[in-house]
Amino acid sequence: MKIQTKHEQETFVFGENLSRSLQNGDVVCITGDLGTGKTALTKGIAKGLGILDWITSPTFTVVNEYEGDKRLFHFDVYRVHDEEELFHIGFLDYFEREGVFVIEWADLIEALIPKRAIWLQIEKDLEKGLDVRYITVRAMHQSERGQTLVDSLCARYQQEGNRE
């Protein structure tokens, strides 16, 4: 599934819509170049999870934790993406906890990502305009939960006639 957003606000709303399908334990991986909108999308997810705090990119802290209707663990592994190092500092232990997990730059540490994750890839389309983004949604590893999430998101967007 691939959708287009034409403005930061639409990427935010996409995140908010996605959050309606999220349950504790779900893992959302967001990939895309610098400044494509990974944090903007995460802010939408946070709003949808009932989190009122201001979301900032955890670039230097690796993870920020927020309490809402559901707990959110927001990772950014851009600066620390050595799989072995992350493994040793207990990165995998987070996924035993109760909450929703969002990981920016997850492609840098693919081996550590739970198989149930869904993957959102954000791309710019400069020919279409500075603010245009394409968001591609995928489940991998034949993950049943991942596929269920993708399907429920597709259904949401088909209803709105917003899908490509």
Binding site for Mg ion (CB under 5 A): 38-39, 57, 104
Decide: is 32 part of the binding site for ligand ATP (CB under 6 A).
Answer: yes
> x/- string (CB under 6 A) for ligand ATP, residues 33-72?
-xxxxxxx----------------x---------------
Q: Which is nearer to ligand ATP, 132 or 154 (CB)?
A: 132
Question: Is residue 31 at the binding interface for ligand ATP, with CB under 6 A as the rule?
Answer: no
Choose among ligand ATP, Mg ion, none what residue 146 binds, the Cβ cut-off being 5 to 8 Å by kind.
none
Strand 100-104 and strand 27-31: the pairing is parallel
Give the contacts of 75 (CB within 8 A, at least 6 positions apart). 58, 62, 63, 94, 101, 102, 103, 104, 106
Structure letter (DSSP) for residue 121: E
What gap in Å lies between CA 63 and CA 66, rounded to an integer? 10
Residue 123 binds which entry of ligand ATP, Mg ion, none, with Cβ cut-offs from 5 to 8 Å by kind?
none
Nearer to Mg ion, 10 or 104 (CB): 104
Q: Is 11 in the site for ligand ATP (CB under 6 A)?
A: yes
Report the SS3 class of residue 67. coil
Question: 5: which residues sit within 8 A by CB, 6+ positions away?
Answer: 11, 14, 37, 132, 133, 135
16 binds ligand ATP (CB under 6 A): no
Reference 42, options 61, 86, 63; nearest CA is: 63
Can you tell me which of 1, 8, 95, 157 binds ligand ATP, judged by CB under 6 A? 8
Supply 68's token pair.
Answer: 């809402």
Segment interacting with ligand ATP, rule: CB under 6 A, options 7-15, 95-103, 144-152, 153-161: 7-15
* Chain positions contacting ligand ATP, by CB under 6 A: 5, 7-8, 10-11, 32, 34-40, 57, 104, 131, 133
